[in-house]
Structure 1
Amino acid sequence: MELGGKPLTDLVGKDAYRQLLGVKVFDVNGNYVGYLKRVYVERRSGRARRLVVRLLDGRLLPLKPQELRLTSTGLVVIRRLHVEAGGLSSSLRRLEEAVAEIKRIRERILELDEAYIAGEMSRDTYLSFRSGLEFKRRQLLSEVRELVEELESQVPGLEEERRGLLSKLRSSSARERDEAARRLRSIRTVIARINELLESAKHELSLEMELDDFIESCLR
């Protein structure tokens, strides 16, 4: 497979790498395998020394910058990977992490605004930090919207399976009822977790929309 983009070794600067945190990571076949969790940058050269990818199966994968390429869709790992997709659990975990990260960014933006208003930093420094945070915020919001759509689409199927298990409890043998009861408890837990995270994510999305509307009104 011919790989597009450019080698990650071409990228220089701590701020540049900071903006890549959370971007999607793909294997050489174009399959989504996780997201960029952490970057270690050398102080003198400004180049990445090591990067850590959170895989769909929950593992943390350390990589050298030579093993990654930067493309328009995200990062591509140029060596072979074997990743077991974690299904709903990985999507739930990523949604929880993304929502928490959006909250941290919003708090950081408020801190920056207050510091700038108080005259604690120059305009150039303020704009540099804020633009980086805004870029990351937009990336996360896009990812959260995709995850919300994905998880919402899973709920009807889980509800249908839950109803089927309830019927099975009334018409099966004792052994089958035990198995159905265990699966039913598991599905109930998953549905409750999905609904909890969806509510939290939608709340964050509404807050971010209000923030964007406020910023636009100030710029008119």
Structure 2
Amino acid sequence: MPADPAVSGISAPSSFVIGPEAGDSHSHAAFPHVPKAIIKVSSRVRVTHAVGQGLNFFAIQVNFPNRTWAHGGPQRVSGKYQMNWGGLVSRGGGATDYREENPASDLQLMQNAGDAERSAPYTWVEGKDYELTIERGNQVTLPPGQYIFIGSGPTVSVSNARNMWEWKFTLRPADGHGPVQVSTLYDAADRISSFYIWNECGYGSCGKRQSARWSMPVYSTLDAPGKSVPAQVLTRF
């Protein structure tokens, strides 16, 4: 997870491009001035170019006030099409968050789904619009037991019950024609404090004109859960 960018922006259009056509090399967009008590955020993406090697990831990232974060979106990984919805504890951002995982303590803050749900196959199509939504569900109690924090990490014995919130990621075609994929992770935080939108490359895909058009995100808050509010300003970083 990158560090927060400086809060200085321009009035945003209804959509924006991340990629060479934007005339800007930055791969991330932040949305300053949104409230810090968000329970739902959504955007549409149309991937216009992804490559058949390495990682291509087009995602919304949400940041929780307890130092955890999660990202969700369509991926093309070494030619394989899938989705991903998972998160970590921030320990400075970027590779550090992965390298310095501490499953025993991290499990008190967040619980990822198993890999079959977290990175499920999803055959998305370049040039087609998809809607990405992250929203809070019910508060649940996870009983004591044996848990894996994320991926192929170690199995950890958790001795206490954990009260956590469902955070659901949904990926669906914007036109309603095609599969809908839902994945859930659990977090002790009851709200989102900020969010980003980004394109990510890696493992041989960088510098190959990866590109996507995004709609300006809309969000709902704890105080007005039934009201969708469009973000007004974006900054690139």
Greater share of residues in strand: 2
Looking at CA atoms only, which structure, 1 or 2, has the larger radius of gyration?
A: 1
